[in-house]
Amino acid sequence: MAAICGPNRAIRPATVSARAISRLRSPSPMVVHRNAVGATVEQADVGRVRERGSDHMAVPCRYGGAHASEEYLMIETLLSRPSRRALLGSAAGAGLTGLLPVPALAGSPSGAVAAVIEAMVRDHGFQGVVMLGRRGRVRFSHANGMAHIGRAIPMRTSTPLGIASISKRLTAAAVMRLVEQGRLSLDGPITTWLPDYPAATGARISLRRLLSNSSGVPNPFRAAVEADPALLEEPWVSTAEAVRRLATGDLVFEPGARFDYALSNWVLVLAIIEAVTGRPYAEAMRALVLDPLGLTHTAPGASPDVMSYRTVSPAVEWTNPRPPFMAAAGGYYSTAADLLRFAHRVYDTDFLSRASRTALTTVEVASDNYALGGPSGPCWGIVWMGVGRLSSST
């Protein structure tokens, strides 16, 4: 028996063959789940079953509101009830970056998992790392392709890769550490820590709104870069200058009214972390999150042995500058193993308090299922979190 997730409907058993799994259209986020026979889950949406014939199932799971998108879940049976402490899967690489809690998986990967990986490579030119783990321990890992074509560096499971917006989750965890220490609050005005920020707007904005991309702060980043392309190449730009140029102005909507995936939110979060700790952001992150969790292969900047490409044949290199003021939003690189450790320790242990874990996974913007630092939502009796898309370059 297997069932799928989503809002507002009761679950229903269904099966689908591995052949149907291999035909899933792209791009789409992917997550592998295992179900427990006899488990009862209410309020789960049933998507269209693509094909019947085996003990596997692949279905689209819709979430969100006006901007709803599809999630495909491949679900397999398991002969024991899943623990509340979910297996954590993380994937990072060219075309796939994610941090996704999934129920328990033990032993070698099933045929369905292998089929998904093979389809990713065959149909989409996937080059990267796939890793599955349980309670912080790696149970399966796979690397495919090249990390750097020009230098003939193959992709390895230990290859550090840019994690883009998963950086926001690291930042949100650091903020919660500071909240627990009594040095920050999620709902106080940001002028408490940034007294020079314009009072008319700063008094209306909270950290909760910044971390959930719902503050209403203007986002002039694209226009600023178009006016001054060298902005991305200016590591000397101070945090105060970045706040002035990229995160100051009249609010474009009432805080909390809607979602806006704006870099300006995270420039302000970075500034607040620096202000309250008295340290540069990278040093504060090291002390608050990276060192305590043992994330020894996670750091801001570009991965030293990896090159992104606009096209694979011919190989056209592509660089994406990440100046320091962008670090909180998307400036880190990491390994799949470090992400697995981070997910397990932050969301599944007492590294943070229960209240902090709840805050990190509680949706603040219903239209986009966005919590603090990333999307989150009820799915099949657990909380899922994910960032990324399966895609290919041509």
Give the mean model confidence (pLDDT) for residues 198-213. Answer: 97
175 and 144 fall within a common domain: no
Amino acid at 282: A
Q: What is the pTM of this model?
A: 0.70
What is the pLDDT, as a whole number, of residue 389? 36
Is residue 119 one of the residues assigned to a domain? yes
- 28-37, 124-133, 240-249, 307-316: least confident range: 28-37
Q: What is the pLDDT of residues 185-197, one digit of tens each?
A: 999 999 999 999 9
Q: How big is the CA angle at 135 (ends 133 and 138), to the nearest 5 degrees?
A: 30
Is residue 55 one of the residues assigned to a domain? no
Q: What is the pLDDT of residues 353-365, one digit of tens each?
A: 999 999 998 999 8
Q: Is residue 81 within 8 Å of 143, Cβ to Cβ?
A: no
Who wins on pLDDT, 37 or 189?
Answer: 189
* CA-to-CA dists, residue 369 to 320, 372, 387, angstroms: 27, 10, 12
Q: Is residue 14 within 8 Å of 48, Cβ to Cβ?
A: no
337 and 189 fall within a common domain: yes
pLDDT exceeds 80 at position 42: no
Give the range of the structural domain holding residue 244, as residue numbers without chain letter. 161-375
127 and 147 fall within a common domain: yes
223 and 320 fall within a common domain: yes
224 and 353 fall within a common domain: yes
281 and 298 fall within a common domain: yes
122 pLDDT tier (thresholds 50, 70, 90): confident
- 51-55, 156-160, 211-215: least confident range: 51-55
Domain boundary among the residues 85, 120, 154 is at 154
* Residue 207 CB neighbour total at 10 angstroms: 28
149 pLDDT tier (thresholds 50, 70, 90): confident
127 and 172 fall within a common domain: no
The domain tally of the chain equals 2
33 pLDDT tier (thresholds 50, 70, 90): very low
Q: What is the pLDDT of residues 61-116, one digit of tens each?
A: 333 322 222 222 222 222 122 222 322 333 333 233 332 333 333 345 557 777 88
SS3 223: helix
- Beta bridge partners of residue 132, listed in sequence order: 89, 140
Q: Is residue 252 within 8 Å of 260, Cβ to Cβ?
A: yes
150 and 181 fall within a common domain: no
What is the pLDDT, as a whole number, of residue 189? 98
φ, ψ at 96 (rounded to 5°): -145, 115
Quote the CA–CA distance of 69 and 368 in Å, as a whole number.
9
Give the mean model confidence (pLDDT) for residues 271-287. Answer: 98
